[in-house]
């Protein structure tokens, strides 16, 4: 089996050489970009496949071979990213205005993105430093692997260390017990506690690995000219800098309450729901949803001999009612020994327009760890599993519906801030009563999900929303600090501090959760993306689907304006379309402020001016409001990066209320018309009612104020 990968690698590397020669010898033009995309396609085809096989294949020999292939291709990519001749061919193109003008916008954008890859890899350095950058990168490939593998391994403990009556709930291996997850949905408190302490028990070699990895990332970032690894990672994202991310997180934390209705009723009563969520019913639900929204349906297809890695993998062909075949999804849904407990989506082949004019169909794998069916019962999903299925399917459809010319920017190959938007949006569908009602059927009786259970399920999502957001803020902050300036203390000490600051629950001694934080590898300094994506997904849901989640017109718009473009368009522009940018945030903010009770104006003004009362007020909000708040703040940060002047002052619907955002420190505040002085220059806003976020609640901050006519036009919506 290792030979298969060796052959594939050699083929890809030979093709690479030819393509590099072509790129370097041709005159600059569209062909240059096409050649680069072919280059990336041929390497990605091997690397992406290997990326999946090293995690998902049941045969350890395959996994090993794939791991080796990943490292070899990764090394080749790093060398290409510092190949000066190759970079020059692109540079010549980007510097040639005449030729540049003949290119279509997509081609130009891809050229810029490719150039950026060269820049952050250190192509501008002298030869010895370039060599150093390559070797650091290669070293990182190893460290990444080591950490990723270690983070997924179960911890072992002697059988007799656990009380007898709970042993059978874990997997027993001779004299020892293996614990490979937190068992968070176990109804037994002792099981959860044991799993927490054992699964998170620190492993010293993995702690070292993490230290080395963070140090190596830092060294690399400095070498290529960035202050920290986070600064390098955040270039070209919506937020741009680590400072903005931290502000985003702190702003959110300030607005979150500390109480945790953590175990939602739906989690505790998962067994009540499962009979209604058979895998068949859920897949049927997805099929119905996609066919109504987008005219897309799934068909089971028989894989060819040797095409799949395990017998229980299903192959789905995705068809559009008029466009025909869009691509294939391989569904690897069931638990297997040795298969990581991880829900994820792998791109195996990206879509692109081939040289012969045909479209290269995207191929993806969806990996879940569902219980396999037995001879008497189908696979039954808990509400959490059902939501995860919808989430991962969102990623798959992002790939299926993308129709970019270049694979470099197809589907999920977009800015990390945006990649989770389509999947998180699917979670909204998965917990909407109009959607769930249509597919949840008892697997024995065919009865629909009882109304009380249905509303309880959709409600619990909202309650969990705030607590879950809090947890995500903590993860994101931890990721930022790890990738910021090197610190003279252990990763566990940092975890402890961040957990207390951002999460509020105390650290449990002798645990090292960071060693299970496998997203540190893939996301490195971009874990905040999950929250950012959620803010945007929430906005899309409300704007397009909340009223009617089956609306075809909205579905088509969503596909046309967002999914089809992959990473080629500025995410924030996709969310809105330039012309609508100005009016939407105020609608949401208006809502937030109405909930505040500010519609009764003066009576509540004092409340807003008093930070303590402000916090008390917030405590009373039902969970769902945090989503809205998240939306607002996400928007603030997102739009700032796209078009900052717009963000100075937002009028609210109705009579003269406004929301302001200080362009320099991201304070958000709101007020009413009487406070606005109609002066076009930078002017303090008097009577601003409250500043949300760190800093003073009482004082407004300096913002440019817009003329009345302009404000007026924004108000009409
Ligand atoms: Zn995801």
Task: Enumerate residues 6+ apart whose C-beta is below 8 A from 650.
Answer: 582, 585, 586, 589, 658, 659, 660, 661, 714
User: What is the Å distance from ligand 1's center to 392 Cα?
Assistant: 6
Distance 535 CA to ligand 1 centre (A): 14
Please tell me the predicted confidence (pLDDT) of residue 119.
86
Whole-prediction pTM value? Answer: 0.74
Give the distance (Å) from ligand 1 centre to CA of residue 460.
21
Distance CA 312, CA 336 (A): 10
Question: How far, in Å, from the CA of 537 to the mean position of ligand 1?
Answer: 12
CA 648 to chain centre: 28
Domains, the chain, ordered by start: 2-124 (1.20.1050.40), 236-484+525-575 (1.10.1370.40), 577-715 (no CATH)
- Alpha-carbon span 699 to 669, nearest angstrom: 10
Q: Do residues 364 and 316 touch, judged by C-beta distance below 8 A?
A: no
Q: Identify the pLDDT of residue 711.
A: 33
Ligand 1 centre to CA of 390 (Å) is 10
User: What are the backbone dihedrals phi and psi of residue 169, each rounded to the nearest 5 degrees, phi first?
Assistant: -80, -10
Residue corresponding to tokens 């090293």: 54
pLDDT in tens, 215-271: 999 999 999 999 999 999 988 776 778 887 887 777 666 555 433 433 444 455 677
- The 3-state DSSP composition of the chain as helix, strand, coil percent (nearest 5) reads 60, 10, 30
> Distance between CA 323 and CA 296 in Å, rounded?
9
Distance 327 CA to ligand 1 centre (A): 19
- Give the separation between CA 250 and CA 150, rounded to whole angstroms: 31
34, 392, 420, 459: the catalytic one is 392
Which residues does 458 contact at the CB level (< 8 Å), separation at least 6?
431, 432, 433, 436
Q: Among residues 98, 130, 125, 93, which one has the least CA distance to residue 112?
A: 93
Check if the beta carbon of residue 113 is closer than 8 Å to that of residue 409.
Answer: yes
Cα separation of 410 and 394, whole Å? Answer: 15
Extract the tokens encoding 237: 């994202």
Distance between CA atoms of residues 419 and 40, nearest Å: 20
CB 633 within 8 A of CB 230: no
Q: What angle do CA 562, 332, 314 make, to 5 degrees?
A: 90
At 582 the pLDDT is: 32
Q: Two tokens at 435?
A: 């959607």
pLDDT of residue 458: 76
* C-beta of residue 634 within 8 angstroms of C-beta of residue 535: yes
Report whether 536 contacts 421 (CB < 8 A): yes
Residue ranges in the chain modelled with pLDDT below 50: 257-266, 463, 574, 576-628, 630-658, 661-717
Q: Residue 3 C-alpha to ligand 1 middle, in angstroms?
A: 33
Q: What is the pLDDT of residue 318?
A: 96
Residues 6+ apart with CB under 8 A from 150: 203, 205, 206, 209, 515
Distance 606 CA to ligand 1 centre (A): 42
230 in helix, strand or coil? Answer: helix
Ramachandran bin of 236, using left for φ above 0, alpha for ψ from -120 to 50, beta for the remaining angles:
left
Is 164 one of the annotated active-site residues of the chain? no
271 closest CA partner among 371, 107, 383, 180: 383
- Strand partners of residue 650: 659
**Å from CA of 547 to ligand 1 middle:** 25
CA–CA–CA angle 486, 487, 489 (5° rounding): 140
Which strands sit side by side in the sheet containing 658-661, from one edge to the other? 649-651, 658-661, 668-671, 690-692
The CA 395 to ligand 1 mean position distance, Å, reads 7
């Amino acid at each position: 089996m290792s030979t298969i990968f060796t052959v594939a690698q050699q083929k890809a590397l030979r093709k690479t050489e030819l393509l590099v020669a072509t790129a370097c010898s041709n005159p600059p033009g569209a062909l240059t970009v096409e050649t680069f995309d072919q280059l990336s396609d041929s390497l990605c085809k091997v690397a992406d496949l290997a990326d999946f096989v090293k995690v998902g294949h049941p045969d350890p020999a395959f996994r090993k071979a794939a791991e080796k292939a990943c490292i070899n291709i990764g090394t080749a990519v790093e060398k290409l990213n510092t190949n000066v001749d190759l970079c020059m061919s692109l540079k010549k193109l980007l510097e040639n205005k005449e030729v540049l003008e003949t290119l279509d916008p997509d081609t130009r954008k891809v050229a810029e993105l490719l150039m950026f890859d060269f820049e952050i890899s250190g192509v501008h350095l002298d030869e010895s430093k370039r060599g150093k950058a390559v070797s650091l990168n290669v070293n990182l490939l190893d460290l990444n692997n080591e950490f990723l593998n270690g983070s997924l391994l179960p911890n072992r403990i002697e059988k007799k260390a656990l009380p007898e009556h709970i042993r059978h709930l874990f997997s027993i291996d001779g004299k020892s017990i293996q614990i490979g997850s937190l068992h968070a949905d176990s109804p037994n408190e002792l099981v959860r506690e044991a799993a927490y302490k054992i699964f998170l028990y620190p492993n010293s070699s993995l702690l070292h690995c993490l230290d080395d990895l963070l140090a190596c990332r830092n060294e690399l970032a400095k070498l290529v000219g960035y202050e920290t690894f986070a600064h390098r990672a955040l270039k070209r994202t919506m937020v741009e800098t680590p400072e903005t991310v931290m502000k985003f997180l702190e702003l959110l934390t300030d607005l979150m309450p500390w109480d945790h209705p953590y175990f939602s009723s739906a989690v505790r009563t998962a067994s009540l729901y499962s009979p209604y969520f058979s895998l068949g019913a859920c897949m049927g639900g997805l099929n119905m949803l996609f066919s109504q929204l987008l005219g897309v349906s799934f068909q089971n297809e028989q894989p060819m001999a040797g095409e799949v890695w395990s017998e229980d993998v299903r192959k789905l062909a995705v068809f559009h009612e008029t466009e025909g075949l869009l691509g294939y999804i391989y569904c690897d849904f069931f638990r297997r020994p040795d298969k990581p407990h991880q829900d994820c989506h792998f791109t195996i082949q990206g879509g692109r327009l081939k040289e012969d004019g045909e479209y290269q169909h995207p191929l993806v794998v969806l990996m879940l760890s569902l219980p396999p069916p037995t001879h008497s019962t189908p696979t039954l999903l808990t509400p959490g599993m059902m939501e995860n299925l919808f989430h991962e399917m969102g990623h798959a459809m992002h790939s299926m519906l993308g129709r970019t010319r270049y694979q470099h920017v197809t589907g999920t190959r977009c800015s990390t801030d945006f990649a989770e938007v389509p999947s998180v949006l699917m979670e909204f569908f998965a917990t909407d009563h109009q959607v769930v009602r249509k597919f949840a059927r008892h697997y024995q009786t065919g009865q629909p999900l009882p109304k009380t259970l249905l509303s309880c399920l959709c409600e619990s999502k909202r309650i969990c929303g705030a607590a879950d957001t809090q947890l995500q803020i903590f993860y994101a902050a931890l990721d930022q600090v790890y990738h910021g300036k090197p610190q003279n203390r252990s990763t566990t000490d940092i975890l402890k501090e961040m957990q207390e600051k951002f999460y509020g629950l105390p650290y449990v001694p002798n645990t090292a959760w960071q060693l299970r934080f496998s997203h540190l590898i893939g996301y490195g300094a971009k874990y905040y993306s999950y929250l950012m994506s959620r803010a945007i997904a929430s906005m899309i849901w409300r704007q397009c689907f909340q009223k009617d989640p089956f609306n075809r017109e909205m579905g088509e718009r969503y596909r046309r304006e967002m999914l089809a473009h992959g990473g080629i368009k500025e995410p924030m522009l996709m969310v809105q379309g330039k012309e609508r940018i100005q009016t939407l945030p105020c609608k949401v903010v208006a809502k937030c402020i109405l909930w505040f009770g500010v519609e009764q104006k003066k009576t509540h003004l004092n409340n807003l001016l008093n930070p303590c009362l402000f916090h008390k007020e917030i405590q009373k909000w039902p969970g769902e409001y945090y989503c809205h708040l998240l939306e607002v703040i996400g928007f603030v940060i997102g739009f700032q990066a796209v078009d900052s002047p717009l963000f100075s002052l937002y009028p609210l619907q109705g009579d003269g209320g406004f929301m302001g955002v200080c362009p320099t420190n991201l304070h958000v505040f709101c007020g009413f018309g009487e406070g606005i002085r109609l002066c076009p220059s930078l002017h303090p806003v008097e009577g601003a009612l409250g500043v949300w976020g760190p800093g003073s609640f009482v004082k407004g901050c300096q913002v440019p104020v817009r003329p009345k006519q302009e404000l007026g036009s924004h108000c009409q919506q």
